[in-house]
Amino acid sequence: MDLKKLEKNMVNGSAARLFPVLADSKKEEKATSILLSIFTVVPDYARAVLDEVGAPIGKRAKIECFTEVSFKGSNEKSRPDGLIIVTNGSKKWAALVESKVGRSELTQDQVETYLDIAKEQGFDAVITISNQFAQLSTHHPLPISKIKTRSVSLFHFSWLSLTSKALLLTESKSVTDVEQSYMLKEMIRYLQDDSSGVVSQFKLGKHWKEVCTTVHQKVRLTKSSDEVSGAISNWFQTLRYLSIQLSVAVGKPCAVRLSKKHKDDGQHRLTDTISSFIDTSILRGEFEVPNAANNLLLELDLSRKSLQCSIEIKCPKDVKQARAAINFAVNQLKNYSGDDLEITVNYPGRIQDLSANIQTALDEDGRKLLLHDHTKELPVSVIIWRDYDLGTQALKSPSLPHTIDQQLQSFYDDVVEELKAWQPKAPRIRRSNKSDEIADAKPLTNAGNNVESETATSISGLTFLKALRR
Domain containing 156 — which CATH number?
Answer: 3.40.1350
CA-CA distance, 131 to 105, in Å (whole number)?
7
Q: Of 196, 218, 242, which residue constitutes the final position of a domain?
A: 196
Residue numbers of the domain that contains 210: 203-310+392-439
Rounded average pLDDT over 80-108: 95
Q: Does residue 457 form part of some domain?
A: no
Residues 183 and 225 in one domain: no
List for the chain the helix, strand, coil content (%; round to 5): 45, 20, 35
Q: Is residue 365 part of a domain?
A: yes
- How many domains does the chain divide into? 3
Alpha carbons 327 and 309: distance in angstroms, whole number = 21
Is the domain of 104 the same as that of 239? Answer: no
Q: Are residue 293 and residue 355 in the same domain, yes or no?
A: no
Of 269, 379, 148, nearest to 128 (Cα)?
148
Picking from 357, 379, 401, the residue at the C-terminal end of a domain is 379
Q: Are residues 289 and 214 in the same domain?
A: yes
pLDDT in the model for residue 396: 83
pLDDT (average), residues 373-390:
94
Asked whether the beta carbons of 306 and 385 are under 8 A apart, the reply is no
Question: Per-residue pLDDT for 434 more than 70?
Answer: no
Residue 448 domain-assigned?
Answer: no
The answer to whether residue 58 sits within a structural domain is yes
- In the chain, % of residues over pLDDT 90: 76
State whether 247 and 366 are in the same domain.
Answer: no
pLDDT of 408 > 90? The answer is: yes
Give the pLDDT confidence of 203-253 residue by residue, as tens digits.
888 899 999 999 999 998 999 899 999 999 999 999 999 999 999 999 999
147 and 257 housed in the same domain? no
| Residue partners of 125: CB distance under 8 A and separation at least 6 | 53, 54, 93, 94, 95, 96, 118, 152, 153, 154, 155
pLDDT tens for each residue of 296-307: 999 999 999 999
pLDDT, tens digit (0-9, with 9 covering 90-100), for 18-41: 999 999 899 999 999 999 999 999
* Beta-bridge partner residues of 66: 15, 83
Q: How many CB atoms lie within 10 A of CB 6?
A: 19
Q: Is the pLDDT of residue 452 over 80?
A: no
Mean pLDDT, the chain, whole residue set: 90
* Whether 212 and 230 share a structural domain: yes
Tell me, yes or no, whether 432 and 286 share the same domain.
Answer: yes
- Among 104-113, 196-205, 310-319, 452-461, the range scoring the smallest mean pLDDT is 452-461
Dist CA 46 CA 193 (whole Å):
22
Q: Both 238 and 112 in a single domain?
A: no
Is 45 part of any domain? Answer: yes
User: Same structural domain for residues 301 and 423?
Assistant: yes
Q: Does 450 fall in a domain?
A: no
> What integer pLDDT is reported at residue 362 of this predicted model?
96
Task: Classify residue 447: in a domain, yes or no.
Answer: no
Name the H helices within 251-390: 260-264, 266-280, 322-330, 358-362
Q: Is residue 470 part of a domain?
A: no
Residues 262 and 402 in one domain: yes
State whether 260 and 142 are in the same domain. Answer: no
Structural contact between residues 71 and 9, judged by C-beta atoms closer than 8 angstroms: yes
